[in-house]
Amino acid sequence: MIFGVDYYPEHWDRSEWEAQADLMKEGGFNTVRMGEFAWKLVEREEGNFDFSLFDEVIDILAARGIKTIFSTPTAAPPKWLVNKYDVLQRDKYGRKKGWGARRECCANNPDYIKKSEIIAEETAKHYADNKNVIAWQIDNEFGCHASTHCYCEHCRKEFAKWLKEKYGTIENLNEKWGGAFWSLDYDSFDDVILPAYNSCEPPSGNLWSHNPALDLEYRRFSSDSWVKYQKRQIDILRKYTSAAITHNLMGHFSDINAFDLSRELDFVSWDNYPENQWGASEHEYVSMAHEIMRGAKNKNFVVMEEQAGPAGWDFVGRSPRPGELRLWTYQALAHGAEGIVYFRFRTALKGMEQYWYGVTDHDGVPRRRFFELQRTAKELHSIEKYIIGARTHYDALVVKSYDNAWGHAIKRHSRNYDYENHIYSFYKANNDLNVNTAVSRAADYEKYKVVYMPAYNIITDGEAKEAEEYVKNGGNLVLTFRSGGRDEYNAVRPLRLPGVFAETAGIEAVEFDAPPRSVPVCGEINGEARIWCDIIEPNGAKTLSYYDDEYYRGKAAITVNEYGKGRVYYVGCDLNDAAVKELVRIVSKSAGIDVKDAPDGVEIIRKTSPEGDYTVLLNYNERETETGIKGESLISGNKFNGKIAPLGAEIIRES
C-alpha cells in the first residue's frame, strides 16, 4: 500500500536530497507526491522545459525503493504567463484577481487552457516511460482559494454556449427560469448575464440577489468548467501513460460537484487536516468527509495530504497529541482509504506555509511525530492484506446533493439554516450509534436499509420516482423540512408541501414557521426546534412527536407513514443532536439494524476484507476506554481484552 509523504525537493539544496531520502526510507515511507506547484521550475521561460531537477530526485528516491506520484503543475501559474496573457480571474465586482498565491487563473480562459495543455503534455511525455512514476495527480485542490467562480468575459461567453446546449432555445430557458418576473426574459443566449454584482454602488455587502435559476445554473456551469478543464489534462496523460490518475479533493468542500469531478479519475484522493489554525473538527465530521470521498466513486481512496503536525498559515493550531497521527491514519483506513500520504516531509523554511508543520520540523531532525509514523508504517505493512480491497457493509445512506447545497445557499429559508450542518447531524447520529453509514449521491437505494435525504428540495421527477419505488419495495426513507418543493430549475413546484413527497409521506405541511425562540418537541422523540417548524396535518401518517408551544402547540412535528412495503419518516423541524440521535435509533431499530451506543469518543467500524472480517476501534479520548469488544488484535497478534488505549486504534478479529 501507499505510505508516503508530500515532498518539495525544490525547497532544499541538492546536497540534502540524499539524506532526506535516507530518512524517508528509515521512516517506512515508500511513496512521495511532488510537482504540483513546479510550473516555473520546469518552464522558466515560455516554451523552454527542463525536468532535470525532478529527474535527479526521482532517481535518488527510487534507489531507496521510494516511488513517485507526479503532478501536473497547473495550480501555480508562473509570472511570465500572467505578464504575457490576460488569464487571471475576475471576481463578482469585475476586479481582476491578483497574482502571488495560487489558483488565480480562469478555467475558461483559452490562453490558460492552451498553456496548461502544453505543460501537461510536456510533463506526460517526459515521464511516460519512467517506471518510478506510479501515478499522476492532476493539478491541486480545484476550488481552493475561492477559485471556483469567475466572472470574466470568457466565462460569460462559455456560459451562453453551455446554456444553449442544455436548453436548445432561448424561449425554453425563459419559460423554465420564469423570465416574466421583473421582465427578465432574454432575446438570445448571448444576452444572459452572470450572477455578479448588479449595482452601480461600490461593494457594500448589501447585494440584490439574482434569479435563483440563473444562480443555480451558473454554479453548475462553474463546477462543470473545472471538470472540463481537468478532463483536458486527463485525456493528454492517457495518450502517454497507463498509470493511474487522481486529483486531490477536499472532503466537505461543495463548490465543485465531487461526483462529476471524480468521474474520469482512476481513484479519488483528498486532503485531510482535522486540526489547524481555523479550529478543530469533531471526529465524526472527519469520518463523514472520508465517506464523502469514498462515495464520490463508491470505491476506496487515498489520502494525498494527511496532517502530520501543527498546522496554520498565519498562526498554528494545536499540536497533535502523542498517538493522534496514528489514530487519524487508522480512521482514514476504517472509512475506505488504501493509502496515506502525509503533508509534508519537512517543514518549509520560506513561503506561506512556514507554520504548516510536517513529519519533521524546520531543522529536519526526526522527533516524536516521525517515530510515531515510523511505528505506524511497520504496523500497516504487516497488515496490508487486511486493508487493500477491504469494504464496509453499509446499513444506511446519507444523501449529499450538490444541487441542494447550492440551492440552499441561494435560498437559505432561514437565517441560521446550513445544509451541510443539517446532513452532518444525521451522519453523526448514525456514527454514534454504530450504524455503518455511507455518504453519496441519490442512487442505488436498494443497497441500504435506511436512506436519509435531509432537505432534498431540488429534485427531478426521476429522482422522486426512484425514492418512491425504494419505499414501495420495503425501504425506509427519512425526509426533513424543505424537501420536495423545487424542480431542477430551482423553481417552486405548484404542489402542497412537501411537494413530490406529500403522498409517500402521507402528510401536508399546511404552514411553516421560522420561530423567534426554541419550540419544544414532545412524544416518542423529545427535543427542541430552533430554526424551522413545519406545521403538519397527517394524511394517513402516524404522529411520532408534536410541538408543545407556539400557536401550533399539539400539531404534528415528526411523522411516519406506511407506504407499500416500506416507511417514510418526515421530520418537520430541526432538532438538537440528542433528539436526532433518538430519531435515528427508532428508525434503525424499525429497519432491523442492530443499534448499540458506542462508548463516548469511540468509533466502531466493521469491515470485510479478502482475509476475513474485522472490527476497527478508534478511541478519540485521552483516557483508556472500555469498548466491550474482545478478540485478537491483528496489529499485535495479542488477545484484546476490550480496553483501548488513550488516542488508540485497534483492528480486532472478534471472538
Residues of the chain with CATH 3.40.50.880: 396-590
Q: Which fold would CATH assign to domain 2-151+216-387? A: TIM Barrel (3.20.20)
Task: Answer positive or negative: Cα dihedral of 314, 34, 290, 445.
Answer: positive
Are 430 and 390 in contact, with CB atoms under 8 Å apart?
A: no
| DSSP strands (E only) in 515-575 | 519-523, 527-529, 533-538, 542-547, 556-563, 566-571
pLDDT at residue 198 in the model: 61
pLDDT at residue 330 in the model: 98
C-alpha span between 310 and 317 (Å, rounded) = 5
Tell me the per-residue pLDDT of 374-389, one tens digit each, with 9 for 90 and over.
999 999 999 999 999 9
Residue ranges, the chain, pLDDT below 70? 198-208
| DSSP strands (E only) in 146-274 | 244-246, 248-249, 269-272
- What is residue 554's three-state secondary structure? coil
Are 303 and 353 in contact, with CB atoms under 8 Å apart?
A: no
Q: Other CB atoms closer than 10 Å to residue 592's CB: what's the count?
A: 11
Q: Which of 599, 653, 652 is nearest to 624 (CA)?
A: 599
Rg of the chain on CA atoms, in Å: 26
The total number of residues shown for the chain amounts to: 655
pLDDT at residue 209 in the model: 78
Are 33 and 304 in contact, with CB atoms under 8 Å apart?
A: yes
Residues of the chain with CATH 3.20.20.80: 2-151+216-387
Beta-ladder partners of 619: 602
**Eight-state DSSP code of residue 310:** -
- How far apart are the two ends of the chain, measured CA to CA in Å? 28
Alpha helices in 38-149 (DSSP H): 39-42, 52-62, 79-84, 110-127
- What is residue 458's three-state secondary structure? strand
- What is residue 264's three-state secondary structure? coil
347: left (phi over 0), alpha (psi -120 to 50) or beta: beta
C-alpha span between 481 and 470 (Å, rounded) = 20
Q: Which fold would CATH assign to domain 602-654? A: Immunoglobulin-like (2.60.40)
Q: Spelled out in words, what is the top-level CATH class assigned to the domain 396-590?
A: alpha beta
pLDDT at residue 414 in the model: 87
Query: Cα–Cα distances in Å, from 312 out to 160, 275, 307, 653?
Result: 40, 9, 11, 39
C-alpha span between 500 and 178 (Å, rounded) = 20
Are 509 and 573 in contact, with CB atoms under 8 Å apart?
A: no
With vertex at residue 455, the alpha carbon angle to CA 228 and CA 281, rounded to the nearest 5 degrees, is 75
Rounded to the nearest 10 degrees, the angle between the axes of helix 212-240 and helix 402-410 is 150
C-alpha span between 378 and 415 (Å, rounded) = 50
Are 531 and 542 in contact, with CB atoms under 8 Å apart?
A: no
CA dihedral defined by 51, 54, 57, 59, rounded to 10 degrees?
Answer: -60
Beta-ladder partners of 451: 397, 477
Catalytic pick from 158, 305, 338, 650? Answer: 305
Are 391 and 610 in contact, with CB atoms under 8 Å apart?
A: no
C-alpha cell at position 165: 446546449
305 among known catalytic residues? yes
pLDDT at residue 203 in the model: 52
Match 430519531 to its residue by C-alpha cell.
Answer: 583
13 residue type, one letter = D
Provide the pairing of β-strand 602-609 with 643-644. unpaired
C-alpha cell at position 537: 396535518
C-alpha cell at position 643: 480496553
484 residue type, one letter = G
Question: Under 8 Å CB-to-CB from 137, ≥6 apart: which residues?
Answer: 33, 36, 69, 70, 71, 72, 245, 246, 247, 248, 269, 304
C-alpha span between 198 and 92 (Å, rounded) = 9
**Eight-state DSSP code of residue 544:** E
Indicate the pTM of the whole model: 0.97
163 residue type, one letter = L
Query: Cα–Cα distances in Å, from 72 out to 115, 301, 329?
Result: 12, 20, 26
**Does 498 sit behind a cis peptide bond, omega within 30 degrees of 0 on the bond before it?**
yes
Match 498517538 to its residue by C-alpha cell.
Answer: 323
Residues of the chain with CATH 2.60.40.1180: 602-654
pLDDT at residue 204 in the model: 53
Question: Under 8 Å CB-to-CB from 378, ≥6 apart: which residues?
Answer: 28
* Sheet of strand 639-640, all strands in order from the earlier edge strand to the far edge: 391-392, 602-609, 612-619, 649-654, 631-633, 639-640
Output the DSSP codes for 311-375: --SSS--PPPPTTHHHHHHHHHHHTTEEEEEEE-SB--SSSTTTTS--SB-TT----HHHHHHHH
C-alpha span between 529 and 531 (Å, rounded) = 6
Q: What is the b/e burial string over 54-83, where b = at least 16 CB atoms within 10 angstroms of the residue's CB?
A: beebbebbbeeebbbbbbbbbbbbbeebbe
